[in-house]
Every structure is written in C-alpha cells, then in structure tokens.
Amino acid sequence: MKAFTIVGRIEAWSFLILLGIAMPLKYGMDVPEAVTVVGALHGFLFALYLIVMVGAAIVHRWSIGRVLMAFVAAFLPFGPFIVDKRIRKSLAAEAG
C-alpha cells in the first residue's frame, strides 16, 4: 500500500502541475516545452500508477469496484489523494 500511496501522490501532483502550470504556460505564454516535459513525466507516472495499482489490488484483494474507483481517480484532479484516503480507511476498518 505504501508504494500505491507514494506513486499516487506523485502522479496526482504531476497532473496538477500539468493542468495548473504547464498548460497555462503553453496557451497563455506560448511556451509549449512546458507541456512537452511535464506531459511526458506525467505519462510515465500515470503508467507507473496503473502498475502499482494493479499490484496493490492483487496483494490486498481489492474488489472490482475499488479497482475502478482507483482507476477513475487518476483522471480527476485531486482524485488519487481522495481515493488513497478512502482505501486506507476501508482497509483499516476491514483489518479491525
């Protein structure tokens, strides 16, 4: 779960930087290199997030609903932060 949390947070921050800094630089100040660099990094982190998510799902025997929730969260700003918190809370409750 620790890897899922760490990678999820880094991926979420890269998405926020892409949307909040790189995109405005590209379209507002004509600096397309910002999106090229941050977009490539975010793409790598997104793929890594999916790999780590599948690993966590297998190890912790997540339901299909939990897997779908984690997958959809990667497409939403702040999504991985919220999903990580919910999954951790749910796993803690299941553990007792």
CA 20 to chain centre: 16
pLDDT of residue 91: 82
pLDDT of residue 12: 96
3-state secondary structure of 50: helix
Domain count, the chain: 1
pLDDT of residue 92: 84
pLDDT of residue 58: 96
- pLDDT of 96 above 80: no
| 74 lies in some domain | yes
| 16-58 per-position pLDDT tens digit | 999 999 999 999 999 999 999 999 999 999 999 999 999 999 9
| 85 lies in some domain | yes
For residue 91 the two structure tokens come to: 């796993």
pLDDT of residue 9: 95
CA distance 83 to 89: 10
| 58-91 per-position pLDDT tens digit | 999 999 999 999 999 999 999 999 999 998 888 8
Range of the domain at 73: 2-91
> Considering only CA atoms, which of 47, 40, 72, 77 is closest in space to residue 55?
47
| 11 lies in some domain | yes
